[in-house]
A and B are shown apart, each in its own frame.
Chain A
């Protein structure tokens, strides 16, 4: 069991000889002191990873840090702890913080809140580059928050996944309060800011909007807490003017997909830029009236590429093909069907003068042997057709006529 009192214990970062002790020894002294009290005053001399990893479920933990602060103040700090740094801080304040409130009464340098997942970091000044990067948010807990009174450095909020940033723009270190190219790779969280920027935020990742009522209420409910923590309640009214605040929020993958297909639809480009560059069709002088509008792969009418070739009579029916003199039996049948017996008779006479004796008696009827009809029932009986002409009167003598085929 931890035996705690409310007496403040002072832990010093130098030894008896006035020499700086290592971060490891300092941490061991801090952990030993923490077993006796949850109120610690740490006099640091540049030791790293100070103030974190202190957890007490029963009493609030209050850590005050003085002196030159090393990197990663409040590293891996726990919920329930308040870490107050009474001067400026070095790099990576709140590194991997999972719930502590960390207050820096001055500026902080690069990497503030890197990979923080919960808790608050409150800066009474400006911060350096790469603040609020790689933050996380577990929905079972509160979002991590970074409050900056002045400005932030370059490449702020890269890969921000859940953190809320508030940049108040009061006495900023840089006129460009959001720094150069913030929010690259940011996929979640949001950033309130106030003051001038160069607009270099990553348009592939975030868009600028004005806070809606809910967002504004969130800010105004928490602002007094922050100002109290840094001792600047006097400027609350100045920071409560809604029209001065802007919001950068991450864009959805759907919105990003539209961006990647090109920031301007091609049709719009054609109308706004391309056609204007020529004041008309670029080929109007060398090919007046040339229609170049898109068509499909298969077209009809004037755009048809191939005209069909009707291959009727390209090949002979089996009867005509196998007949030694190629009598077109199919034509003969057609004429008979049409009731044109006379024409049918003349047709056959153009091929043979002896239809009854040859087709009807002598010929082995190769036509019938090869007739397609036999696959259905019986072949056309050409022998019978021939014999039917036996009693026909001989045709009138006519001038010789060339064969049809």
Chain B
């Protein structure tokens, strides 16, 4: 029995108004049905009963004193392990609009206690910053009477991009005439679903995404591809006709590659490409991280690891010692695995040193492209300090790499793909097209697709962001069947189709006024403007006001 007078006061003691989110519970509306307490992913909400003192203020009464009533209702935990993350599931299930989280407008003192029990703060999501340079870019070169006017609804557009090494015409013809090897090139939709592993995502989410991608390709004729991430790929998917829509990722953890190699002789088709992950924008210099909460029997089986253990990948591939060797050895091995029929490209985190990697790729005959992932990229699990402060914003990094290719006259030969914060505030097509006009051949979107296709609740005000703990209330990043079965793969697939149909239309609406319909305006930076002079100078685009 605990005395009501025993009020704890320790260095970590917090009260409601120190927490990032405050639960607003309206007693008069609450029916005590208990749905909020059963849905709360962090077990923050609990039923509580209190004695309420009701002072008697009637001064004419002879007998002064107080009356008491019993309060029964919902209160939030002030224990940081069970803090409110603001996900809002309580208000989603409340039949009576009686409860919901409200962001704390005052200081969030919980931040000072985010390191607990010797562990630095780990979370999922992306950098907690709503600033997006890409959002500020507008498309200013409008062709009206000066160029053939295009109509987004009427004219036909070729919106696809090329993934793979494009040879100069004379070299292409020479090789074709002499029967020499010609590097594989894929024609794909420039918005790629970025690498999210089977493990980071729940089975229903991962398969729902792939189903949507297959629908886009086979029904809508939008050649969307998606990357597996480094968790391997279910063996029956490897042997299915849908493998051609998948970019298989190999990363320093090498999870699931035994199954891939085992399946190669039985594959019905080649994968879209192979991505070699050297770095990731959300956590540069860190490898992948799948926390033990999420290593279920199924994930353990697919990855070839024990269940219920943390799965960190090392920051570097263990057998690589230099940049030249990394590029040469890995690309060659992976190209050879499919007899040089599949494009192979590395993924790096955006960095001041990206140009050095790019120049190595330019000299490598087997390199099919480069993917650069900026600081705003998302992840299923990383240290908060990596996510928030480590890395390089994508726009200027991509731009200087592209201009470096232009200086060498190679910009049409080796595609650069960009990622990290595309669509972070919902403007996915605008962000992606700005990136393309800055020089990207395409963009990868991960977090956006979780938000758009599966209703991910996370945002850049640190809402939810518990992807690492396996308690995702929408079932997107959980491996608990009681959670991930909340997600219907058919509905995810339908949303993927809806999203890509929308992006396709918006791309036309951006391209038509520019007078472009027959090829993607890669590097068409004369169409771009920004109201920030410094950014305009840095990106070498027009300053507009």
Contacts and interface: CB of A to CB of B under 8 A. Distances in A.
A223 B347 CA distance: 67
Interface string B468-497: 000000000000011111111111011001
A241 to B, nearest CB: 34
A273 B218 contact: yes
B81 interface: no
B145 interface: no
Chain A contact surface mostly: loop
A305 B301 contact: no
A218 interface: no
A294 B487 contact: yes
Chain B interface size range: 35 or more
Contact of B298 (A155, A181, A290): A290
A274 B211 contact: yes
Contact of B39 (A278, A286, A298, A372): A298
Interface in A254-270: 260-264, 266-267, 269-270
A277 B241 contact: yes
B130 to A, nearest CB: 29
Interface string A177-206: 000010011000000000000000000000
Nearest to A181: B156
B235 to A, nearest CB: 6
Interface residues of A, number: 46
Contacts of B35: 298
B235 A286 contact: yes
B234 A294 contact: no
Contacts of A398: none
Given A158-B154, A283-B234, A285-B236, A295 B486 contact: yes
B301 A286 contact: yes
B215 interface: yes
Given A181-B156, A273-B214, A286 B219 contact: no
A234 B494 CA distance: 56
A158 B155 CA distance: 11
A296 interface: yes
A191 B234 CA distance: 52
Contact of A290 (B235, B481, B497): B481
Interface in B209-259: 211, 214-215, 218-220, 234-237, 240-242
A363 B171 CA distance: 106
Given A267-B490, A287-B297, A316-B1, A262 B219 contact: yes
Contacts of B67: 375
18 contacts: A184-B154, A266-B491, A277-B240, A277-B241, A282-B237, A286-B234, A286-B298, A291-B485, A292-B203, A292-B481, A292-B484, A293-B485, A297-B89, A297-B93, A298-B35, A305-B38, A321-B3, A375-B68
Interface of B: 1-3, 35, 37-39, 43, 49, 67-68, 89, 92-93, 153-154, 156, 203-204, 207, 211, 214-215, 218-220, 234-237, 240-242, 297-298, 301-302, 481-491, 493-494, 497-498, 501
Given A269-B211, A314-B1, 4 more contacts: A266-B494, A290-B203, A290-B298, A295-B486
Interface of A: 155, 158, 181, 184-185, 260-264, 266-267, 269-270, 273-274, 277-278, 280-287, 290-299, 303-306, 314-316, 321, 372, 375
